[in-house]
Structure 1
């Protein structure tokens, strides 16, 4: 497509790369990573706003990560027109090289903003009984990667401990001042929710992903209870 000032080229590439071992890191990102985080959030907000994508998104999110069908489900859920819009808006060439897990991680914060961003944190999250992984996926959940399960439990713990600041984290612009303030307020929950001997990735994007998934699932459960 052509913008007002020249040719805009867009590409979405799902790169299947082996996952790195999880390790504890400070919740900081350099400016280039911050820019990528904002572009990814804009892309996923566009994807989750498409009614025609909802079934594919839910199917993707219920697919067990790193299984053979995971990559194909990611491609069905993605929407290239959302990159076209971002490219046209910025008058730039955009190529997004995206691992399916990174796409999944960004979808949950986006879904939370879409479903609960304006209404605020749903009451009663702390009182909900434990959620079962077997209800969240299609397939044998014993095949879930150990680091994924650890991150899922961490996010659930943080969301229940401090849903107000978890909400503030998810509705804030990635890598912005409001997100940093929410991260700071959530630090006691981070400390309390890391089990002894456990290692987790504590980058901003990893925290957004695990807290986002937990807040979506807990908020839906509290709303329909």
Structure 2
């Protein structure tokens, strides 16, 4: 009997759920490491879910990195984005059961995995110019565009305030003392980076995903990186 695996994680955006399921093919042999439900008793249930989602994201990148990069470059909160999120789901990356999540969590996990894979061993230089999030959101629904820009400007402010701590929240092992210390170091920068009068609450998956998105984009557009690509 297969054991159902379900992740209930708070997302960045109010999108419909996506589900990927493993087919019983009689074998677990696969070219890319699959995501299995973490049974690490040292981790909380939430952290085990985060770890499983990160493993799934890394498998997706290794199996089709071009498609992953095209997906995360899309503007979220659109029907096209939700459809592409469903198309991204594949049982080739699920070890057992069912993995349920929303497109916001998928995006956050993919950016985290992209940054870890590209810059996990050593931090790259960050581009000096800020990212033009308004250009990303051009032509989109006004409310959705505003949410997109505000959240990413907040994340970039945090990254600029303490690049080392921001990076550590992304690359540190999930549920580790390193991760806790990184969030503690980052905490003083969160409030000052919020727009006046705003109150935004993030789970760790959402916040680290936003920080990873900004870090990845700033790292891949830095002159020394762009010049070698």
TM-score range normalised by the length of the shorter chain:
0.7 to 0.9
1:56 aligns with 2:58: no
Q: Which residue of 2 aligns with 1:26?
A: none
> Aligned residues, how many?
195
Q: Which residue of 2 aligns with 1:25?
A: none
Query: Which residue of 93, 114, 127 corresponds with 1:111?
Result: 114
Which structure has the higher relative contact order (CA within 8 Å, separation 6+)? 1
Q: Which residue of 2 aligns with 1:80?
A: 91
Structure 2 unmatched ranges of 5 or more: 16-42
Distance 2:129 2:164 in 1: 19
Structure 1 unmatched ranges of 5 or more: 1-5, 21-29, 88-93
1:121 aligns with 2:123: yes
Q: CA deviation at 1:136?
A: 4.4
Query: TM-score, normalising length from structure 2?
Result: 0.74
Query: TM-score, normalising length from structure 1?
Result: 0.75
Deviations 1:75-127 (A, max 9, x none): 2333321112xx3xxxxxx3211111211111111100011111x2223x3x6
| 1:93-104 equivalence runs, <5 A | 94-104=97-107
Instruction: Tell me how large the CA RMSD over aligned residues is.
Output: 2.9
1:130 aligns with 2:142: no
Q: Which residue of 1 aligns with 2:196?
A: 196
| 1:121-160 equivalence runs, <5 A | 121-123=123-125, 125=126, 128-133=128-133, 136=136, 140-141=139-140, 143=142, 144-160=144-160
Secondary structure, counterpart of 1:96 in structure 2: strand
